[in-house]
Amino acid sequence: MGYVGRVARGDLGRSIQQNRPVVDELADAWPATLELTMAALAIAAAAGIAAGVVSAVWPNSLFDAVARVGSLFGLSMPVFWTGLVLIVVFALWLPWLPVGGMGSPSHLVLPAVTLALPSLAMVARMTRSSVLEVLREDYVRTARAKGVAERLVVAKHALRNAAIPILTLLGLQAGQLMGGAVLTETVFSWPGLGRLMVKAIFARDYVLLQGAVLIFALAFVLINLAVDLAYGALDPRIARQG
């Protein structure tokens, strides 16, 4: 109860290694992790939804086959392996991007893409199945029979009605992206919470590690709460039932 009371007052203890308040250590590292997570989530959402919609509109096409194979690859590869491959290709063989660290926007590209790939694959698969199911509904066939343009049918009728499972997945992926940032930040020397946790583990700084885990858990809960509240905006029937 004493620890819970201190946490409620914002006191997470002092770092054993740095001899600083844990809150200050987390405050220094949190913005970097938030930046990386938001960039990865934006990549996963934009590319995943686009690929899923195109695959659903043209099922069994060449693009659909490539997208499904790519999704399987993205889900199968661990982020630390993907990160090392991207470093070798785009930082060593093709010196286009920096190897690691944080500074210019170019430093964000490789870690954000590495972190986003598994989530991108899951979003693409979920979007494809959800949109494909909605496209078979009677109201979609009715809209097409009335002469509504195909892009409006997909955007206004299909994608909007398929948005709730996609939004749910994105909320879950946001939490998983923060967890995946532990490995990604270590590979790319990104100065965020994930790298801070790895340092705390090796230094046996359990007070700092406990505070970081608590912040991750709190962020995951808040993200999923925001997703639940967003359901009403996507489907007014849910808001009326609430």
Mean pLDDT of 57-64: 85
Query: Is residue 242 over pLDDT 60?
Result: no
Q: What percent of the chain has pLDDT over 70?
A: 94
Structural domains for the chain: 21-241 (1.10.3720.10)
CB atoms within 10 A of CB 151: 9
Buried b (16+ CB within 10 A) or exposed e, 112-131: bbbbbbbbbbbbbbbbbbbb
Q: Between these two residues, 56 and 234, which has the higher pLDDT value?
A: 56
Please state, in angstroms and rounded to a whole number, the distance separating the CA atoms of residues 129 and 110: 29
Q: What is the DSSP string of 208-229?
A: HHHHHHHHHHHHHHHHHHHHHH
Once rounded to an integer, what is the mean pLDDT over residues 27-43? 90
Could you tell me if 83 and 188 are in contact, meaning their C-beta atoms sit under 8 angstroms apart?
yes
Higher per-residue confidence, 51 vs 146: 51
Q: What proportion of the chain, given as a percentage, has pLDDT over 90?
A: 5
pLDDT per residue as tens digits for the range 9-27: 777 778 888 888 888 888 8
Give the rounded distance of the alpha carbon of 103 from its chain centre: 22
Are the CB atoms for 23 and 211 separated by under 8 Å?
Answer: yes
- Give the span between the Cα atoms of 207 and 141, in whole angstroms: 59
Q: Taking the CB of residue 58, how many other CB atoms lie within 10 A of it?
A: 11
